Amino acid sequence: MSKSVLFRVIALSMFAFSLMGMSFANLFFEQGEAVPVNKAMMKTLYDFEITGLDGQPFDLSSLKGKKVLIINTASECGLTPQYEQLQELYDAHGGAEFEIIGFPSNDFGAQEPGSDGEIASFCQKNYGVTFPMMSKIAVKGEEIHPIYQWLTQKSENGVGDFEVKWNFHKFLVDENGHLVKEVQPQTLPIDEEILSWVTK
């Protein structure tokens, strides 16, 4: 074998091995599934600090191992009756494997003008809400809360750039704190799109 042929064989072999190395390096195994390694390096739900309607810190790390539906809510919106379906979903599936977190927001049509105490009273009196409700925050604009920056920016969540379009916009987060997808405000909490994800 001539030197030129030998060098070509060596070069091709090195190229092939480098491609294999990249292929393996780009995979990170998580619960038996291969996911992009950059996903493992992205922020997770557990990296943020939030406060409940009662003014007490809410420990997001307590949700490890659970699927989580995150939703921005409002008390004076045409979609406010979705609270009923949210509670129905929570009654059926909330617990060790699934959680709902509501974030009141006054960003759309000023439809959540009340204080945290007033929001808590409204949710309990009208819909018997028992899933965790957080202190009112901004979900868009200059004062956007860091958790919503994460939910809406691909550079932080590794999934996509999303826009919170109205009250009751939903985000689904997996058992490892990674964002999975968004669900539009008009989609009911008990829609098959959400139910199939919660129960699979």
Per-residue model confidence as pLDDT tens digits over 22-74: 444 444 434 444 344 466 678 999 999 999 999 999 999 999 999 999 999 99
CB 100 within 8 A of CB 195: no
Q: Which residues are catalytic?
A: 77
With a CB cutoff of 8 Å and minimum separation 6, the contacts of 91 are: 130
Averaged over 148-173, what is the pLDDT? Answer: 97
Strand, helix or coil for residue 161: coil
Using a cut of 0.85, tell me whether the model's pTM lies above it.
Answer: no
Predicted pLDDT of residue 187: 98
Q: DSSP of 38-65, one letter per residue?
A: HHHHS--GGG--EEBTTS-EE-GGGGTT
pLDDT surpasses 60 at 17: no
Domains of the chain, each with CATH number or no CATH: 3-40 (no CATH), 43-199 (3.40.30.10)
pLDDT band at 171 (very low <50, low <70, confident <90, very high): very high
